[in-house]
Structure 1
Amino acid sequence: MSWIYLMIAGCFEVGFTTCLKLSNNFTNWKWSVAFFICISLSFHFLNESIKTIPLGTAYAVWTGIGAVGTVLIGIFIFKEPSDFWRIFFIMLLIGSIIGLKLVSK
Structure 2
Amino acid sequence: MNWILLIIAGLFEVAFATCLGKAKEATGMESTYWYIGFVICLSISMGLLLKATQHLPIGSAYAVWTGIGAVGTVLVGIFVFKEPATFWRLFFITTLITSIIGLKVVSH
- 2:81 partner SS: coil
Q: Distance in 2 between matches of 1:21 and 1:78?
A: 8
RMSD between superposed Cα atoms in Å: 1.4
Unaligned runs of 5+ in 2: none
Q: Distance in 2 between matches of 1:5 and 1:51?
A: 11
Q: Distance in 1 between matches of 2:105 and 2:42?
A: 27
Unaligned runs of 5+ in 1: none
Is 1:53 the counterpart of 2:56? The answer is yes
- 2:98 partner SS: helix
Is 1:20–1:31's contact at 8 Å kept on the other side of the alignment?
A: yes
5 Å-filtered alignment, 1:5-20, equals 5-20=5-20
Structure 2 counterpart of 1:88: 91
Is 1:26–1:32's contact at 8 Å kept on the other side of the alignment?
A: no
Is 1:20–1:26's contact at 8 Å kept on the other side of the alignment?
A: no
Query: Aligned residues: percent identity?
Result: 59
Matched residues, number: 105
Is 1:8–1:45's contact at 8 Å kept on the other side of the alignment?
A: yes
Letter in 2 for 1:47: L
Choose between structure 1 and 2: higher helix proportion: 2
- Normalised to the residue count of structure 1, the TM-score between the two structures is 0.96
What is the deviation of 1:24?
Answer: 2.0
